[in-house]
Structure 1
């Protein structure tokens, strides 16, 4: 069966038939540290909209080492170690990094830049998309599912 968006690895698949509720290029230090990328394309889905087909095969670890009790867990495949998703312990969202979590290059482009901080010395993005020091102003965290 075909889904609107799908990813994962050879052992665990994720998919959604809904669009992300937030889709941004992240400039935060946590994403930089976890991914090793200077910026990270991150898409948030309502928790129930991103389905995981073999959740028992996930290893979970804190996403933010400086805040190990925080709400986000990085989920990786127990068989191959591939990153699969970020899971919210509060069941509000699930997030993916398309280029690292098995999604096609045709994944919808990020619509804005989040967590940009000029104090880092990083040049302000000039690609025409809005730039914010946080998530977009109209973003509302969904109720837990």
Structure 2
């Protein structure tokens, strides 16, 4: 996997400057509600490591409708509505969902499952990757930039 890859849409282009700091398959209800997917491949980068060429052209809305004052904003193209990235208002991370944000298979596969909750009735993943109730135990949130 290259440390640099690119995505976005025809109106807003993004690229990464370094390797991700986290790469997981998310099972949380917020990702399910926003993406419509049963699970979502989610990749965290340090905030300064995802660059957009037209941030002024993005619309921003809360990522979690149940927590509109939360730190994450879903950034979409103001022209075509395509999802571009999740931006952290605290400037710690930027998040890419490769299959929805124009990155395709440029980013390697997720290394673990996050936010799995057996109470949902969904069978526990059995693909050999670790499964956690939250982010991986050794994940440390970066400092605000």
TM-score for the superposition, normalised by structure 2:
0.97
Counting only pairs closer than 5 Å after superposition, residues 42-121 of structure 1 correspond to structure 2 as 42-121=42-121
TM-score relative to the length of structure 1: 0.97
- What residue number does 1:40 align with? 40
Query: Which residue of 2 is the match for residue 28 of structure 1?
Result: 28
Q: What is the number of equivalent residue pairs in this alignment?
A: 144
Shift of 1:71: 0.2
The match for 2:124 is 124
> Where does structure 1 differ by over 4 angstroms across 4 or more consecutive aligned residues?
none
User: C-alpha deviations, 1:69-109, integer Å up to 9, x for none?
Assistant: 00000000000000000000000000010000000323211
Q: What's 1:19 paired with?
A: 19
Quick check: 2:11–2:77 contact (8 Å CA) kept in 1? Answer: yes
Query: Superposition RMSD on alpha carbons, in Å?
Result: 1.2
Equivalents in 1 of 2:144, 2:14: separation in Å?
A: 19
Give the gaps of 5 or more residues in structure 2: none
Gaps of 5+ in 1: none
